[in-house]
A and B are shown apart, each in its own frame.
Chain A
Amino acid sequence: QVQLVQSGAEVKKPGASMRVSCKASGYTFGSYYVHWLRQAPGQGLEWMGIINPSGDNTNYAQKFQGRVTMTRDTSTSTVYMELSSLKSDDTAVYYCARGMVRGVSMTNFDYWGQGTLVTVSS
């Protein structure tokens, strides 16, 4: 079965960087785009960007450009999201999610990771 398993919770200080991993299994890793989203406490979902696991090309939301980097390791079917220059309002649950339609970048999300809570606090 399809699974996306994310790394564990983190606590970071303002100005630091964070990196969350998302290990995929149960499907052909390179066939589906992987997205990153976040949800601040009590808030809605915010799309951060997308990575094509087969080609390594990315597309980031304008809000995060210059601060976010998404990469992948095809040998382990894992995608990574790194966010730098953290601020307190980056405190959120970060999710990876698979785009439902094979080979299509902008689509809905059929499988989600379990979420990773990142707390930014001095």
Chain B
Amino acid sequence: EIVLTQSPGTLSLSPGERATLSCRAGRNINIFLAWYQQKPGQAPRLLIYDASSRATGIPDRFSGSGSGTDFTLTISRLEVEDFALYFCQQYGSLPTTFGQGTKLWIK
């Protein structure tokens, strides 16, 4: 199965700053990568699919890029509600797998 490695594990930033989260796949997954946001006690929420397409209702401060093995989620200007856990998912190869997550903390 394909291993996804997310970095950093934790990220401490202030509202208004830019966040850059990374997800690296163990082998080529083309663009079959999604990003999710999860808050405590809630189910994950789809943000980005196919590496760079925003899901319905997701603000345009969220953007995704990359292909092959290296992917990035960028949050252009952090708002208080953006401080949460983020993880990536690959669906280019069965079984689908997830990264361990990046926890975004308020500084």
Q: Please, which residue of chain B has its CB at the minimum distance from the CB of A115? A: B43
Residue B83, interface by CB 8 Å: no
Query: Which B residues are in CB contact (< 8 Å) with A47?
Result: 95-98
Number of residues of chain A lying within 8 A (CB) of chain B: 20
Query: Which B residues are in CB contact (< 8 Å) with A106?
Result: 91, 94, 96
| Interface size bracket, B side | 20 to 34
Binding site for B on A (CB under 8 A): 35, 43-47, 59, 61-62, 95, 100, 106-110, 112-115
A110 to B36, CA, bound (A): 10
A115 to B43, CA, bound (A): 7
Query: Which A residues are in CB contact (< 8 Å) with B46?
Result: 100, 108-110
Cross-chain contact A112 with B43 (CB below 8 angstroms): yes
5 smallest beta-carbon distances between A and B, as pairs: A108-B34, A112-B43, A45-B98, A108-B49, A44-B100
Closest chain-A Cβ to B26's Cβ sits at a distance in Å of: 15
